[in-house]
Structure 1
Amino acid sequence: MTTHLNAPAAQDGMHPDPTMSLHVTSYEELVPSRYALKIGEIDVLVVSDGVLPLPTSTMSTNADPAARAAWFKEMFLGPDAFDWALNVLVVRSGEQTILVDAGLGGQFPGFPRAGQFPKRLAAAGIDLGSVTDVVITHMHMDHIGGLLVDEVKSRLRPDLRIHVAATEVAFWAEPDFTLTSMPSPVPDVLRATAAQFMNDYHDKLRTFEETYEVAPGVVVKRTGGHTPGHSVVHVTSGEERLTFAGDALFPVAFDHPDWQNGFEHDPEESVRVRVRLMQEAAASGELLVATHLPFPSVGRVAVNGDAFRWIAAFWDY
C-alpha cells in the first residue's frame, strides 16, 4: 500500500492550498474518497465506493412512520429518500493485502455514483493485482458487484483467495426473502448477482464456519442476522483494534438499534447482532467502520441510556 499513512490521503487529489481556485479542472475529483490509518503495525485504508439512493422507509421498516420522518428530519435527510454510503476496506498485514468487500460495480443502471472503488484504489497507488485475499462480509450485490466488473476481473491475480462464510454460500443457493422488505426489483437482482459471483469465483472461494484468521491480526467472524452468513472483520495489532461491521450497522442504529432494515433476512436476529456488537465496541473502545455509515465511517460507540451514541474519530491529516 503506497499511500503514506500520515499524508492527506483523504483528499484524493485536492490541492492542499485552501486558496487554490475551485475552477481548476485538472483534478478528477474534489471530494474525499479514501482515508488511511494504522492499527498497531497493520495498515488500513477505508475507500468510498460512492453512494446510492434508497427510500427512507427501507431503513426502518418496523418504525412508526411519524417517528421515522422525525428522525430523518432531525438528521437533515429525506424525507422520502437519502444517499446511502458505500465503504470498502483495504488491509495490509505482513505480506498480504486484503480487500474487504468490493462495492457495487458499475453494471447496475440507476446508480451512477456508485462503483467507484477500482479507480479510487488506483488513485491510492494500489494495484488490484497486489490483492492476495478478499473477504466478503455477505453476498448482497453492493458487496460483491465490484468483482464482476470486467476491468476488475482481468486484473486480479490467479491465486486470489476469497473468504466467505460457508453458511452464506449455502444460503444463496436457495435464498429466502420472506422476512425482507426491499424495493420490488431488488430480490431478483440479488439472486442473479450472487449466482454470477458463484459462477465466476467458485474455484477461488475459501469458506469458513465461524471464525477464520485471514492474516496475522485479521480475523473474519460470522455474525448472521443481516444474512445467515453475514460476517464482520476484526483487525488487531498490539493494544489497538478496529472492527469492520459490514451491514450490521446503519446510520439509524445508534439512536434506534431496534429499528429493522428492509434488507435484513432475519430482522430480529439482526437487532441482537448489532446491539451486541455496539455493546462490545463501547466496552473495548475500539474503532468501528461500517459499509453504510457516512465516509470515512471511522469512530467509536458509547452507551447512551437504552441506545448508543456515535463518536466520529478526528481525521489525522
Structure 2
Amino acid sequence: MNLETKMSLENTAHTGRPRLDELVPSRYAVRIGEIEVLVVSDGVLPLPTAMLGHNIDPAVRATWLKDMFLPADAFDWALNVVVVRSGDQTILLDAGLGIDPDLHLPRAGQLIKRLEAAGIDLASVTDVVLTHMHMDHIGGLLVDGVKDQLRPDLRIHVAAAEVKFWEAPDFSRVSMPPGFPDALRATAKRFAEEYRSHFRLFDDEYEVAPGVVVHRTGGHTPGHSVIRLASGGDRLMFAGDAVFAVGFEHPDWYNGFEHDPEEAARVRLRLLRELADTGEQLVATHLPFPSVGRVATDGDAFRWVAAFWDY
C-alpha cells in the first residue's frame, strides 16, 4: 500500500504471523478525501444460481454463467462490510451474517474476527448504518459477546420503513431457498428486540457524519438504503443489495431476495445510471471482494470496471 492510502485504519492493523486459514486478502483500504474506508470480507454465501434472475429463461441464465466462467448450479456470493472513519466517528456499514441460523453457511460470518485482525476495537464503533435488515447485514451484532463489547451509546441508523416492514414481513414475491424466509424473520425479530433502544430512525435521508449520508431507496426491501461518502471531490457509494454482479448487463433480472422485484429493478437502473454519469466509486455487499470499482455504460447496458489494486 502506498503512502497516500496508508491511513490510520491500516496503521492500527497488527496482523502478526500469517494464519493458515487466511490465505487470501480479507480487507482493503481506500481514501475518499478525508474519509477513511476499509472494505472487510465477511466471507462467502454459497447460493443457487437461480437466485441471480428467477424471472428469465434458465437457458439464458446458464449462458451468462458460462460466459462468466461460473458454475451452473451454485457459486459463492461475496459478503462485504465497510468500516468508515469520518472525523471522530467510526461507522460500520452493515454487520455481516455473524451467526449460522441452521443454514449451513460455515464460510460466512467472518466479520468479528477480521475486525479484530485489523486492530479495530468494537468499543470504538460509534455508529452502525444498516442498508436493510436481512440477516447477512445484521447478524454480526448478534454473535455471543459482541453486544457487551459495544458502546452503550452506540447509534444504529436504519430507515423507519425497514423497521416497520419486519414487524410483519411479506415474502410473497421472493424466490429464496428453503429455510431462508424463516431464518430472516427470526433474525430480524431478535435484532429488533435486542437493539431497538439504539435505533435512530430516518425517513428518506440522514447525515450520519460529515460526508456520510444514508438515502432510502426501497425496492430490495421497503427500507433498503444506500450510503454515499463525499469528501474533497471524491465520491463512493455503498449500495448494499441494490446491485449484484449480473445487474450491470441485466439490471432487469430479479434477484431472489428482492421483496419488490419490479421496484428493485427500477432502483438498480437509476443508481447505475447515476454512477455511470458521476464516475463515483461503488462498493456493494455481493460484488466480488473488494468490490471497489466504477460503472460505465455499454450500449443499453452497463459495465463493471474494477479498480486497480493499490498496495
Correspondence for 2:35: 42
Paired letter, 1:188: D
Q: Is the 8 A contact 1:138 1:164 kept in 2?
A: yes
Matches for 1:18-29 after TM superposition, within 5 Å = 27-29=20-22
Alpha-carbon deviation of 1:107? 3.1
Two-structure CA RMSD over aligned residues (Å) = 1.9
Query: Once the 2 structures are TM-superposed, how far is the Cα of residue 185 of structure 1 from its aligned partner?
Result: 1.1
Q: Of the candidates 42, 49, 59, which is equivalent to residue 56 of structure 1?
A: 49
Q: State the secondary structure of the residue aligned to 1:104.
A: coil
Map of 2:129 onto structure 1: 135
Contact 1:14 1:29 in 2 (8 A): no
Give the structure 2 partner of residue 258 of structure 1. 252
Tell me, yes or no, if the aligned pair for 1:6 and 1:316 is still in contact at 8 Å: no
Instruction: Please say if 1:107 is aligned against 2:109.
Output: no
Are positions 1:186 and 2:180 aligned together? Answer: yes
Show the counterpart of 1:19: none
- Aligned pairs for 1:138-157 (under 5 A) are 138-157=132-151
The question of 1:307 aligning with 2:301 is answered: yes
* Cα distance in 2 for residues equivalent to 1:173 and 1:4: 46
SS at match of 1:243: strand
CA contact (8 A) 1:138 1:231 kept: yes
DSSP-derived class of the 1:154 partner: helix
Moved more, 86-95 or 73-82: 73-82
3-state DSSP of counterpart to 2:197: helix
Q: CA offsets per residue over residues 80-118 of structure 1, 9 Å max, x none?
A: 001000000000000000000000013334111111111
List structure 1 runs of 4+ shifted beyond 3 angstroms: 12-15, 24-28
1:125 equivalent to 2:119? Answer yes
- Counterpart CA distance in 2 for 1:26 and 1:35 is 17
The secondary structure found in structure 2 opposite 1:191 is: helix
Counterpart amino acid of 1:32?
A: P
- Matches of 1:26 and 1:292 in 2, distance apart? 25
Aligned residue among 205, 217, 220 for 1:223:
217
**1:194 alignment partner AA:** A
Check whether the contact 1:89–1:101 (CA below 8 A) recurs between aligned residues. Answer: yes
Counterpart-to-counterpart distance in 2, 1:153 and 1:107: 17
Greater Cα shift, 183-192 or 128-137:
183-192
CA distance 1:166–1:235, shift in 2 (3 Å): same
User: Given the alignment of the two structures, is residue 69 of structure 1 paired with residue 75 of structure 2, yes or no?
Assistant: no
Q: What secondary structure is seen at the aligned counterpart in 2 of 1:274?
A: helix
Ranges in structure 2 where 5+ consecutive residues have no aligned partner: none
Alignment: residue pair count: 305
- In structure 1, the partner of 2:195 is 201
Structure 1 unaligned regions, length at least 5: 16-23
Equivalent residue, structure 1, for 2:77: 84
Report Cα offsets for 1:38-58 as digits up to 9, x if no partner. Answer: 000000000000001000001
The answer on whether the counterparts of 2:100 and 2:106 sit within 8 Å (CA) in structure 1 is: no
Shift, 1:13, TM fit: 8.5
Distance 2:5 2:23 in 1: 20
Percent same amino acid at aligned positions?
68
SS in 2 for 1:235: strand
Deviations along 1:109-132, whole A, 9 cap, x unmatched?
411111111111111111010000
**Normalization by structure 1: what TM-score?**
0.93
2:25, 2:205 → 1: CA distance? 33
Q: Which has the larger displacement, 99-108 or 253-262?
A: 99-108
- Residues 126 and 154 of structure 2 are in contact (CA less than 8 Å); yes or no, is this contact kept in structure 1? yes
* 1:5 aligned residue: 5
TM-score, normalisation: structure 2: 0.94
Query: Using a 3 Å threshold, how does the CA distance of structure 1 residues 27 and 225 change in structure 2: closer, same or farther?
Result: same
| Candidates 29, 32, 42, aligned match of 2:25 | 32
Preserved CA contact (<8 Å) 1:218 1:236: yes
> 1:280 matched to which residue of 2?
274
Query: How far 1:150 sits from its partner (Å)?
Result: 1.3
